[in-house]
Chains A and B, each alone.
Chain A
Amino acid sequence: MKFRDLSDLAFRNLREGVLRNSLTTLGVAVGVASLVAMLSLGVGLQQLASSRLAKSGLFDSIFVTPKTNLRRPGGGPPATRTPDARARPLDADARAEISHLPHVIEVYPQIRFFTEVRYEGKPFATMVAGMPESSKSSGAFDGMQGSFYSSPNADETILQAEFAKELNPQTASLIGKDLILRYAERQSLAAQPGEESSGGFSVVPKDMHLRIIGVVETEPASGFGGFGSGRLLIPLPLAETLRAAQVNDLRDILRDSSSDKPTYSSLTVRVKSPALVEATEARLKDLGFSAFSLLDASKSLRIFFSVFDLLLGIFGSLALAVATLGIINTLVMAILERRREIGVLKALGAADRDVKELFFVEAGVMGFFGGMLGTLLGWLIGRSLTLGTNLYLHRQNLPGVDISSVPWWLVLFGIGFAVLVSLAAGLYPALRAARLDPVQALRYE
């Protein structure tokens, strides 16, 4: 029989036992819904974790340090170690070179220093941190009060909420006000005659007026070491121009340096995507720097979610297994009811194969509709869980998240899997129907 005739007959048969076949299809739908809902949770949570981690800058960043600057366990002090021929200082030239590497979107030093702030005449001790341009899109400033810096060199600051409350419990009223940043500027001293190395630097107190333009709730993190501990956040290019004395400056003056260019104790290199980290990291090592990334941690995360998805899939499949028994039961009952009809079909010239295919198509149709309905139901369950979670988070004053996701592949997988499982369930009834002896079947009342 041609497929169109076969499906005509199959649909007709399904319509005939509409209640029983609808219930069977609903059984398949519930099975698929539980599978799709479980997997959508797995996918959603994975996407949530990945996007959070991507925004944190942990997985698309490489931490670069000069080779001689790193002490490994048992490595001994730098001076006694065999100098690495490829080792080179991490200075402005190196920074420019790294920023021109393919896929690198940003190279910045970590600038953080402890200092004093004066607001309305009162002193407050706090940690200042320079924020790179990219932090705007990191998601860390989503939902902040006020706005982001108007330009990379603007004399503006964003306060961390806890610190802002110290200045004024009504944090909203701080925006637009000025504060004074008091910091220690580092000024290089010229080399004294008769001395081989440069004479170090002097520290001069400086003041700077900053306008408060925003208050951010969470502590933004950015790369290794992050800015998590920063409570007064200023644009990184501005922070660099301050030449504020930092903790590691003392180490700089002890280092043998014939260059008067500033060197960095470390640089953070951000690449376009976590997938490019490994290649870029290797490239940086070739250039003669030490490089380190959290790529391995990201791999572990992927493994974790694969296992998590598998477990969710197995639990979700249990309902589908029950639905499979439902299909077998429905079709076996249909054979008993339609015994005589099968006999008539065979007497009229239907081959065993025609009868088998008819039952197969009926099972497939139930699987297809069950799969479509089930995927829709699964999506709705996922949305409801997201809605419920967000309602809860909202009550806890936390921002909403999307914990479930039904991508296209999951829709196709849901429907395809339902059809496959239904065909497998239809195998035994179809074979049984095909093997019916027509003489016996025609005698059946």
Chain B
Amino acid sequence: MTELPPAIRLESVSRHYLMGESVIRAVNDVSLTVPTGEFLALLGSSGSGKSTLLNLIAGLDRPTSGSVIAEGQDLSKMSSLELARYRRQTVGMVFQSFNLLPRMTLEENVELPLRLAEVDRSERAARVREALERVGLEKRIGHRPSELSGGEQQRTAIARALVNRPKILLADEPTGNLDSATGESILTLLREIQENPGMTIVMVTHESTLAQRFAGRFAVMGDGKLLSNGAPR
């Protein structure tokens, strides 16, 4: 059996910011490989650079040096238009604060990535329903985010991230705004998604206890550097 190429490969990636005269090294020479289908938890304290690293993998930001290769594509060589296409087709993102558009219903929120990807209208309704069924919210399809609990909002955000059938799911503190029981149910859902339909997941979190229970592997960051080598648990 041939080994699958890694979903994500980071080679000496650095992201530096200029703040006045001083240089902030948010991510400093990080190399990391995430095999296809792995659930990786990126741990670290606040300001350790884990969210910046996630943004680099998401194609929302560009590295100062090094290369980010995701699904065989070198993000550092892409134009902004190609990066937008990458964000539409290859990755799905989930945020700590859900980032649902408050004036849209669940259906419309989940449909948004399909609109951006110019998927045919006839196909959209079925895809939206399928994604909402996956997270168990098909009955709340006409509701607005404000009518939902935090956990339900995060499930909606996961449905939105899944609707374009990406290969990689990126989650930035997905349980940060939830109580522990709800957080656990969200991670259970992520774990299920990792297994079926099968997806590479990178989750940024500072809750190591929860991460230990659900993630397949840890990578610990501190001061922009990778502290643990990301060895399998």
Chain A interface residues toward B at CB < 8 A: 1-2, 5, 9, 12, 16, 340-341, 343-354, 438-439, 442
| B55 adjacent to A345 (CB under 8 Å) | no
| A349 adjacent to B60 (CB under 8 Å) | no
Binding-face segment, B32-40, B110-118, B187-195, B207-215 = B110-118
Instruction: Return chain A residues, CB-CB under 8 Å to B87.
Output: 346-349
| B60 adjacent to A439 (CB under 8 Å) | yes
| A348 adjacent to B60 (CB under 8 Å) | no
Provided the pairs A340-B99, A347-B58 are in contact, do residues A1 and B93 lie with their beta carbons within 8 angstroms?
A: no
Q: Is the interface of A mostly helix, strand, loop or mixed?
A: helix
Q: Is the interface of B mostly helix, strand, loop or mixed?
A: helix
Chain A residue nearest to B163 in the complex (CB):
A348
Instruction: Return chain B residues, CB-CB under 8 Å to A353.
Output: 81
| A442 adjacent to B99 (CB under 8 Å) | yes
Instruction: Return chain B residues, CB-CB under 8 Å to A349.
Output: 84-85, 87-89, 113, 116-117, 164
| A351 adjacent to B81 (CB under 8 Å) | yes
6 A-B interface contacts by CB (under 8 A):
A9-B115, A344-B99, A348-B87, A349-B84, A349-B113, A354-B116
Chain B interface residues toward A at CB < 8 A: 55, 58, 60-61, 80-81, 84-85, 87-89, 93, 95, 99, 101, 103-104, 112-113, 115-118, 160, 164
Question: Cα distance A340–B102 when bound, in Å?
Answer: 11
| B93 adjacent to A347 (CB under 8 Å) | yes
Question: Cα distance A259–B188 when bound, in Å?
Answer: 121
Chain A residue nearest to B61 in the complex (CB):
A439
Instruction: Return chain B residues, CB-CB under 8 Å to A442.
Output: 60, 95, 99
Question: Cα distance A415–B224 when bound, in Å?
Answer: 56
| A348 adjacent to B160 (CB under 8 Å) | yes
| A1 adjacent to B116 (CB under 8 Å) | yes
Instruction: Return chain A residues, CB-CB under 8 Å to B104.
Output: 12
Residue with the highest number of chain A CB atoms closer than 10 Å, among B84, B89, B93, B118: B84
B59 to chain A, nearest CB (A): 9
Q: Which 5 A-B pairs have the closest CB atoms?
A: A349-B88, A351-B84, A349-B87, A5-B115, A349-B116
| A347 adjacent to B60 (CB under 8 Å) | yes
| B101 adjacent to A351 (CB under 8 Å) | no
Chain B residue nearest to A6 in the complex (CB):
B115
Residue with the highest number of chain B CB atoms closer than 10 Å, among A344, A350, A353: A344
Residue with the highest number of chain A CB atoms closer than 10 Å, among B81, B104, B113, B116: B116
